[in-house]
Structure 1
Amino acid sequence: MTEIAFIGLGTMGCPMAERLIRAGHTLRLNRVKEASSHLIALGGRAEASAALAAEGAEVVILMLPDTPDVEQVLFGAGGVASGLSRGALVIDMSSIDPVATREFAKRVREQGGHYLDAPVSGGEIGAKGGTLSIMVGGEAEQFNRALPLFEILGKNINLIGENGAGQVAKVANQIIVALTIEGVSEALLLAQRAGVAPDKVRQALLGGFAQSRILEVHGQRIIDKSFAPGFAIRLHRKDLNLAANAARALQLDLPNTTATLKMMDDAVTQGNGDRDHSALFLTLEAKSAQDAAQGST
């Protein structure tokens, strides 16, 4: 049994924390809200600050929206750093900037702690089912220390390299996911406009080389027009901005990433930022309708 501080109980963090509690670990929780209050009934303990949650914890797990949130929770007033025990392991499972990650790891090590960046892929479904892909950056010794916890949360668990490497892998993952959602959206929009049943097209494609988890899950979401967020567009847009920033720093041209990021900007402007990232389809659909209207005038 491990004493764990868990901070960040949103769409992903809440089911992840629940899995750790049900596996027998002691969780000290910060930022408990109504949607995560059931974790207290399961045995979690609410703490008023990140510092109090971290005091005496062997492991601190973060699952937060963005780079500034991680920095504030770690090093701000009442943050983890002010309560961190010597030798404790900080595991940041958020998706944030790789450069900032390396700096955060350095600061934690200077305080006598250890640090892994371990962003995840698999969405809410993976978080609930314990089937997340976990991409880890850090020392092998600390990876092995954390592995029993990772195995509760995920199935495809890989040590990629030093601190920051996990975040680079996650950025690469988010490029592939975003571009595949965009491609699936275009394909189903084509079928719809051509008067062919999108559900039958999807079913046919699932048996061929175009088969993918995104076509399976998000293709069905698109057909059903069911866009309750498993992973919100605004969060995926944040990740593509990380990709764009990294590309600029490395003097890389990522044209399709740039184009899909623009579509996500449009989706947020259209009020769809809190919908699932499969709702990118709606942006393409709206643009198609606009183009058709302009072409008929």
Structure 2
Amino acid sequence: MTGTDPATLGFLGLGVMGSAECLHLVRKSGRPVVVFDPNPDGTAALVAAGAMAAGSVGEVAAAADVVFLSLPGGREVSSVLYDAGGIADRARPGTLVVDLSTTPVDLARAAHERLALRQCGFLDAPVARTRKAAVAGTLAIMVGGTAENFARAEPLLRMMGTDVTHCGAAGAGALLKLVNNTVVFETVVALAEAVTLARRSGLVSDQVLFDVLGAGSAGSFALENHGRSALLPDVHPTGIFPAAYMRKDVGYTLELAAELGVELPAATLAHSLLDRLCDEGFADNYHTAVVRLLDRTGN
């Protein structure tokens, strides 16, 4: 860190991913970190680690030179940016907002423009990989925005991630995160189909299935992580990356596709499966629970 780096950092959203991301800033940045989350449990843990608690979004915005967001989706990001007393109202000129959330591309692009009118910067910088990666500081972070703002944020982002990429102009990071999550879930569906078919055949064990797929051309990050950790043991816990969040993200992808006049048949099918999964009581479960829908077929 140099003398040109921000004096104070802010963090909004201390959930499953945000709490781990923020903890890296508290431990590694050497800077004061001001935090706020409506859930006091998340705030208490960060304060115990050395952060300072604020009483509102506006207090964080007024105090910080760089404000990080890690929120459930576009609605929440819009709220903290534009609601009365929020970031747009309270941030000082020169403040940089770094959004680690997954949002629609048009929201990200609009945020760049609207905050620029208030002499503030914005980066859409969503993260990929798992909660385990967030804790380890090995996230992949894809960033959209100006080269100047990226250079300012990059040292801080590298405290959270090992793969930090400036993807292009405003909205580029948001776009690539939606593409990433859509590909991940489509792969999870394919793996769930393979598991269901193999189990129903009675010819091979789950372990052999995953070992053979992993050693062949079907090997992937999704197979080694989502597959082995959830599909193989058929355990789909809450508190990780729920089906409702994945439905939101794939929905954002389909909305963008509709705007661009692009047909995405596989993504459309994936979204319909997520609708069914949520309707049948799995909205809060890890999205790998889609295998439960396929397993019911024919029973």
TM-score normalised over the length of structure 2: 0.93
**1:10-53 deviation digits (Å, cap 9, x = unpaired):** 11101101111111332111115214421111111111111101
Is it true that 1:250 corresponds to 2:260 in the alignment?
yes
Q: Equivalent residue for 2:169?
A: 162
Is it true that 1:285 corresponds to 2:290 in the alignment?
no
Structure 1 segments, 4+ long, off by >2 Å, are none
* Equivalent-residue separation in structure 1 for 2:283 and 2:162 (angstroms): 29
SS in structure 1 at match of 2:63? coil
Q: Read off the aligned partner of 1:243 and give its amino acid letter.
A: T
* Equivalent-residue separation in structure 2 for 1:126 and 1:25 (angstroms): 23
* Equivalent-residue separation in structure 2 for 1:41 and 1:104 (angstroms): 32
* Distance of aligned partners of 1:182 and 1:36 in 2 relative to their CA distance in 1, 3 Å threshold: farther
Is it true that 1:62 corresponds to 2:69 in the alignment?
yes
Q: Read off the aligned partner of 1:213 and give its amino acid letter.
A: F
Q: Read off the aligned partner of 1:272 and give its amino acid letter.
A: F
Structure 1 range deviating more: 221-230 or 232-241? 221-230
Q: Read off the aligned partner of 1:135 and give its amino acid letter.
A: M
Q: What is the deviation of 1:272?
A: 0.5
Contact 1:4–1:58, Cα closer than 8 Å, also in 2:
yes
User: Paired residue for 1:259, among 263, 266, 269?
Assistant: 269
Q: Read off the aligned partner of 1:29 and give its amino acid letter.
A: V
Structure 1 range deviating more: 77-86 or 178-187? 77-86
* Equivalent-residue separation in structure 2 for 1:44 and 1:182 (angstroms): 40
Contact 1:108–1:114, Cα closer than 8 Å, also in 2:
yes
Is it true that 1:29 corresponds to 2:35 in the alignment?
yes
User: Paired residue for 1:77, among 79, 84, 93?
Assistant: 84
* Equivalent-residue separation in structure 1 for 2:191 and 2:162 (angstroms): 26
SS in structure 2 at match of 1:52? helix
* Equivalent-residue separation in structure 2 for 1:259 and 1:131 (angstroms): 31
Q: Read off the aligned partner of 2:278 and give its amino acid letter.
A: V
Q: Equivalent residue for 1:11?
A: 16
SS in structure 2 at match of 1:271? helix
* Equivalent-residue separation in structure 2 for 1:182 and 1:238 (angstroms): 16
Q: Read off the aligned partner of 1:241 and give its amino acid letter.
A: G
- Tell me the number of residue pairs that the alignment of Structure 1 and Structure 2 aligns: 289
**1:96-132 deviation digits (Å, cap 9, x = unpaired):** 0111111111111111111110011112112111111
* Equivalent-residue separation in structure 2 for 1:283 and 1:33 (angstroms): 36
* Equivalent-residue separation in structure 2 for 1:141 and 1:35 (angstroms): 32
Q: What is the deviation of 1:279?
A: 1.3
Contact 2:36–2:43, Cα closer than 8 Å, also in 1:
no
The Cα RMSD (Å) is 1.3
Is it true that 1:117 corresponds to 2:124 in the alignment?
yes
**1:235-274 deviation digits (Å, cap 9, x = unpaired):** 0110000011011111111000000100000000011011
Q: Equivalent residue for 1:173?
A: 180
Contact 2:188–2:222, Cα closer than 8 Å, also in 1:
yes
SS in structure 2 at match of 1:203? helix
* Equivalent-residue separation in structure 1 for 2:20 and 2:31 (angstroms): 14
Q: What is the deviation of 1:86?
A: 1.1
User: Paired residue for 1:44, among 37, 43, 51?
Assistant: 51
* Equivalent-residue separation in structure 2 for 1:238 and 1:155 (angstroms): 26
TM-score normalised over the length of structure 1: 0.94
Contact 2:34–2:63, Cα closer than 8 Å, also in 1:
no
* Equivalent-residue separation in structure 1 for 2:290 and 2:157 (angstroms): 31
User: Paired residue for 1:212, among 198, 207, 220?
Assistant: 220
* Equivalent-residue separation in structure 1 for 2:21 and 2:151 (angstroms): 19
Is it true that 1:97 corresponds to 2:104 in the alignment?
yes
Identity of aligned residues (%): 33
Q: Equivalent residue for 1:224?
A: 233
Q: Where does structure 1 lack aligned partners over 5 or more consecutive residues? A: none
* Equivalent-residue separation in structure 1 for 2:107 and 2:158 (angstroms): 26
Contact 2:210–2:223, Cα closer than 8 Å, also in 1:
yes
* Equivalent-residue separation in structure 1 for 2:175 and 2:224 (angstroms): 26
* Equivalent-residue separation in structure 2 for 1:285 and 1:251 (angstroms): 34
* Equivalent-residue separation in structure 1 for 2:182 and 2:122 (angstroms): 25
